[in-house]
């Protein structure tokens, strides 16, 4: 089983043109900005209107909290057929930026949550190192034997220029063959993206959803 990091293709996807601060209070108790990377909300988020420059199956929106994308009904249905880690879809109201007319098609905020990935890792068959992203060089190899050691190394990088990078990840039997997941604060390079299975990547391409870029990562399943 192969795995790929996934991101919207910035050259072709639509994106939010302007944040509607004149009509939306981002500081309200149930604001979209309060969504997180590691948990689903225990409140019903209120989302702002999204003024978009063009419609694609996935779109950028950096103002909504947590990790996720704006997705079309077509992409939502495709994802729902696969084994996705903890997630939720929220209805959005989209408007064309130039005309301010409402988009009639259904679009959603797809929130993907980082869960128990530390338990998935076979530490004896994985490799990690510490990287200085300011100096852009490897600081040291990390000999990590369990999830507590990895969690501690990640914690130690907070508010520093360092990040923990995996050179190789081997998953154990705790990994339940997910097709889409996210590992917060664990990198394969300077950036951290969600991961998809080869099966889901092929399904996205077969269904002519051209809004994503994929790059293989060094993750294997025992």
| Domain extent for 182 | 117-221
Q: Which of 85, 112, 139 is the last residue of a domain?
A: 112
Q: Which of 112, 135, 169 is the last residue of a domain?
A: 112
Same domain, yes or no: 49 and 23: yes
How far from 31 is each of 23, 52, 171, CA to CA, in Å? 13, 20, 36
pLDDT means over runs of 10, the chain (222 residues): 93 90 93 94 96 93 92 96 97 94 95 94 96 90 96 92 94 96 88 94 94 95 86
Q: Which of 78, 112, 146 is the last residue of a domain?
A: 112
**Residue 143, in any domain of the structure:** yes
Helix, strand, coil in percent for the chain, rounding step 5: 15, 35, 45
Same domain, yes or no: 50 and 127: no
State the total domains in the chain: 2
pLDDT, position 164: 94
**Residue 2, in any domain of the structure:** no
Same domain, yes or no: 98 and 143: no
pLDDT, position 19: 87
Burial of 121 per CB tally in 10 Å (0-12, 13-18, 19+): buried
* Terminal CA-CA length for the chain: 10
pLDDT, position 106: 96
User: Is the pTM above the cut of 0.95?
Assistant: no
Same domain, yes or no: 60 and 144: no
């Amino acid at each position: 089983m192969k795995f790929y990091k996934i991101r919207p293709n910035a050259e072709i996807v639509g994106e939010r043109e302007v944040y509607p601060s004149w009509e939306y209070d981002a500081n309200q108790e149930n604001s979209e900005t309060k969504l997180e990377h590691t948990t689903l909300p225990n409140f019903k988020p209120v989302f702002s209107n999204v003024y978009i420059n063009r419609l694609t199956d996935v779109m950028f929106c950096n103002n909504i909290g947590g990790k996720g994308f704006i997705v079309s009904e077509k992409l939502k249905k495709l994802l729902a057929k696969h084994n996705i880690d903890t997630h939720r879809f929220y209805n959005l109201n989209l408007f064309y930026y130039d005309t301010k007319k409402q988009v009639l098609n259904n679009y959603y905020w797809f929130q993907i949550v980082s869960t128990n990935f530390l338990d998935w890792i076979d530490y004896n068959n994985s490799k990690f190192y510490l990287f200085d992203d300011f100096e852009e060089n490897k600081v040291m190899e990390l000999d990590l034997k369990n999830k507590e050691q990895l969690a501690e190394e990640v914690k130690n990088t907070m508010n520093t220029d360092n990040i923990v990078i995996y050179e190789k990840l081997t998953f154990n039997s705790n990994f339940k063959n997910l097709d889409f997941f996210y590992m917060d604060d664990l990198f394969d390079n300077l950036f951290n993206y969600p991961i998809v299975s080869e099966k889901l990547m092929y399904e996205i391409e077969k269904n002519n959803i051209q809004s994503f870029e994929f790059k293989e990562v060094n993750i294997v399943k025992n």
